Amino acid sequence: MSETVYNNEPGNDQVYDETIYGDDTAGQAYDEFGDNQGVYDQDDIIISARNVVKCFPMGNGEKFYALKGLDMDVPRGKLTILKGRSGSGKTTLLNILSALDDATEGEVYVNGNELNTMPETEREKLRRYDIGFVFQSVALIPIMNAYENVDFGLRLADYEGNRDERIKEVLDMVGLGGRMQHLPSEMSGGEQQRVAIARAVAHKPQVIFADEPTGALDTASGLTVMKLFKELVAKEGITIVMTTHDPNLMELGDVVYEIEDGEIVARA
């Protein structure tokens, strides 16, 4: 890091301490909070972030640190929630964990493989086959009905199984088996989000990343989405990482990380 002190540069307390974490922390669970909660076997960690810094260059030549040397582990087959106020760094972190964006410093391990050293073709495969995405503003294709939207996702992921069977299965799973022929404009926001979730899980990814998936929904629809996530974790064994700034949803997470000004400040 340069010697210039920027107004939000990580402080010395964030210096990575090899005496605590060891010099090879790939995929290893850590217990920064000293309570042994949330510490998992190495095999049970699907993604880990180590000393992740994200710095955005600003127009005036200064730098803005959106993430300031952050460590976290995502346990496999669980629902992990990243909570924090708007602007705390949730989206930035999610984009880095899902290989959509690069960290400025630090490492991200997915199944033990470090993303920075992975060839772009491998990262592309990871995004296409192993990851599903759900966004706040539901990104369905307006001229395609629910069935066709899920089918489109399956084709993009080169799904090799029986597509028709899988489409019906996942739309049933999200409670929309009777709405397969409906266009997005003929469904409520909550129903559209459930189609988006069906599309995200259809190709059987290992992990689903969901950025504020309940952010645009009313409370009841938001809870339906959360229940669905819990079911997917329990029944399909999928790993879900989602962000939210809604304090009411926290207790539904298996692991909850609280992020504040680009730092993890609590884990429960």
| Chain residues that interact with ligand ADP, rule: CB under 6 A | 56, 64, 66, 84, 86-92
- Specify whether the CB–CB gap between 104 and 94 falls below 8 A: no
Instruction: Give whichever of 60 and 86 is closer to ligand ADP, judged by the CB atom.
Output: 86
- Picked from ligand ADP, Mg ion, none, the partner binding residue 92 (CB below 5 to 8 A depending on kind) is ligand ADP
CA 181 remoteness from chain centre: 29
Instruction: Give whichever of 18 and 56 is closer to ligand ADP, judged by the CB atom.
Output: 56
What values do phi and psi take at 210, rounded to 5?
A: -130, 115
Query: Minimal distance in Å, beta carbon 97 to Mg ion?
Result: 13
Instruction: Give whichever of 72 and 195 is closer to ligand ADP, judged by the CB atom.
Output: 72
CA dihedral 195, 174, 242, 208 (to 10 degrees): -80
Looking up tokens 């309940």, which residue turns up?
214
Query: Minimal distance in Å, beta carbon 212 to Mg ion?
Result: 6
- Picked from Mg ion, ligand ADP, none, the partner binding residue 228 (CB below 5 to 8 A depending on kind) is none
- Strands 63-75 and 79-83 turn out to be unpaired
Nearest alpha carbon to residue 83 among 258, 262, 263: 258
* Dist. CA 46–CA 160, nearest whole Å: 24
* # chain residues binding Mg ion, by CB under 5 A: 2
Query: Minimal distance in Å, beta carbon 146 to ligand ADP?
Result: 28
Instruction: Give whichever of 91 and 206 is closer to Mg ion, judged by the CB atom.
Output: 91
Per CB under 5 A, does 91 bind Mg ion?
yes
Residues that bind Mg ion (CB under 5 A): 90-91
